[in-house]
Structure 1
Amino acid sequence: MKKIYLILFLPLLVPQVRISDEFPVEKHCSITYIANDGFLIDTGKNKILIDALFGNIDGNWCEQPSDSICKLMLNGISPFDNINLVLISHRHADHFSAPMVITFLKNNIKTSLICPRQVNELLQQQTGYNSVASRIISIDPGKSPDTLLSINNTAIRVMKFSHGKFMIADSITGELINIHEDVENIGFIIHSEGFALFHSGDNTSVDPDDYLLYNIKNTAIDIAFFDKMFIRQEGMHIVNTQIAPANMVFMHIGPEQTELLRSVTVGIPEIFIFTKSTETRIYHSGISE
């Protein structure tokens, strides 16, 4: 029944496509999937890692980088050489590892980091923090919900978004409680060499007002990264009316869900779901390959 349900809603997935022609044909942006919400973005002169520096999680409830991929990232070995910027959306273990981030920054002395305050607090507990602190930009989304930055030739807009809810019952009262209520989750609009990319972290909001606040549609987004929950009807309504990206990547997909969700989006070239780590997709002039 689940598969039938998804297929029935397939027409609702079709985005209102905006093909951009403002960039020269030779410009390209490659997206390499690392794991979960983690990606390497390469626009030629700039390389950005987002939510990719994590691993060694017990269980198979999420995709995670292999030991060999982690070694390449930490040591700045191709394709992870010359990383300009690391972005972290929130503190959860399937998005960042504090020891790995400190090691990465120590090994890659030209890289800067943008992260929410809660992530920085965990980093401060690590040995070696002081040696890399000058390259860490900590954002307090409560005080600064919408921040513009320019770092290492890259313009970044940092925005506060709620983390997806995870409800559990109180053991005494039975009341349902959202244990992610206080998690600081930030999204990013990245401007790099003529491309605009949007990454929403672990936001799964179905409230259009969350996106109306930022007028994201006023920015011509070439590639947008969304949690898998946005595949639903209400999620695609937000995508189409509030963001209108030319291309979409769905993420935060468990190992058992990947093939099903990819099959549902077959035939919609503007939507892509990665199925294996280090898989790369190239985008240029509003077209992907």
Structure 2
Amino acid sequence: MRSFSKNILLSLALALTVCAQSRPSANAIVKALYVGNEGVLVSHGGKAVLLDGLHREYGPDYLFPPPDLLSAMESAQPPFDQVRVVLVSHIHLDHFHPESVGLHLKNNPKAVLISSAQTMLEVAKNYKDHETVRSQTREYTPEWKQKKQFDIDGIKVTVLGLKHGSDRFWWVKNLGHLVEIGGKKLFQFGDADMTVENFAAFELPKEKIDVAFVPYWYFLSDAGRKLVREQIAAKIYVAVHIPPATAAKEAENLSKLFPGVRSLTTIRQELEF
């Protein structure tokens, strides 16, 4: 009887240990705060990466940060004081505003901007104090299908050279970003052209991506969904760039077309991974 009780206790202890190990601890959680259009603040352990978040009102088809949120980002108020890396995929104004980027860098000396020469030129032309933040910039303009890794304050960022969608934007440098933070790997890629050739050279399935932030139109066609599954192969997909006027309808439609996809539709919406 004593032996039986002992075995029961050991079994319970083992079960509790397994449950505890399978449940992610608070220290293992990476958070994403939505700031509009394709913009997200990804944070873990008191450090954060701001991806395509520093933009202003542009047009009715794009969700933009309201004045109080924009002010908090530009002045590096919490939680944006945690930002160590600012990433800009390309220079279109629904993803980037040069003055907003400059102001954040000025008010957050710990932040580093990584982006293309086009982005740096726009900041230099349109932010009057650009000389004071130049030391906080890392310019990298990859050729198509080329990549480079940066390590900023323990955060790894791999910048990928991707073509922008639509022939009329052939001249726009569009960057993809693989971000490694808090033991998770996240992928964001601006408005990359939706073709297999644009992604295949990077062999992204080998990266074992945890979370991919994907423009919603990729999920609307068979070809787009196939590309997402085969060329990105993330564990979790998050739809972004959803027009605000039809956000609820689009999110519902996406969940039918691509079961399991999460949609960012509301300013300050939060996700945990």
Bigger relative contact order (CA 8 A; separation at least 6):
1
What secondary structure, in the 3-state scheme, does the structure 2 residue paired with 1:32 have? Answer: strand
Other-structure match for 1:25: 24
Other-structure match for 2:265: 275
In the TM superposition, residue 144 of structure 1 has moved relative to its aligned partner by 8.3
Q: Percent identity?
A: 25
**Superposed CA offset, 1:177-210 (max 9, x none):** x3211100000001112000000111141x2122
Structure 1 segment 24-173 matched on structure 2, within 5 A: 25-26=24-25, 27-57=28-58, 59-125=59-125, 126-142=127-143, 145-165=146-166
Amino acid of the structure 1 residue aligned with 2:265: T
Tell me whether 195-204 or 39-48 shows the greater mean CA deviation. Answer: 39-48
Quote the Cα distance in structure 1 between the aligned partners of 2:255 and 2:223: 20
Q: Which of these two proteins has the greater Rg computed from alpha carbons?
A: 2
Quote the Cα distance in structure 2 between the aligned partners of 1:80 and 1:48: 9
Provide the alpha-carbon RMSD of the alignment.
1.9
Quote the Cα distance in structure 2 between the aligned partners of 1:54 and 1:227: 17
Counting matched residue pairs gives 248
Call closer, same or farther: CA 1:23–1:150 in 2, change over 3 Å. Answer: farther
Quote the Cα distance in structure 2 between the aligned partners of 1:45 and 1:242: 32
Structure 2 residue corresponding to 1:190, chosen from 179, 202, 220: 179
TM-score (normalizing by structure 2): 0.86
Structure 1 residue corresponding to 2:234, chosen from 245, 251, 266: 245
What secondary structure, in the 3-state scheme, does the structure 2 residue paired with 1:81 have? Answer: helix
What secondary structure, in the 3-state scheme, does the structure 2 residue paired with 1:33 have? Answer: strand
What secondary structure, in the 3-state scheme, does the structure 2 residue paired with 1:91 have? Answer: coil
**Superposed CA offset, 1:122-157 (max 9, x none):** 111231111111110111123882111111211111
Call closer, same or farther: CA 1:273–1:180 in 2, change over 3 Å. Answer: same
Amino acid of the structure 2 residue aligned with 1:129: H
Amino acid of the structure 1 residue aligned with 2:205: K
TM-score (normalizing by structure 1): 0.81
Quote the Cα distance in structure 1 between the aligned partners of 2:22 and 2:90: 32
User: Is 1:212 equivalent to 2:204 in the alignment?
Assistant: no
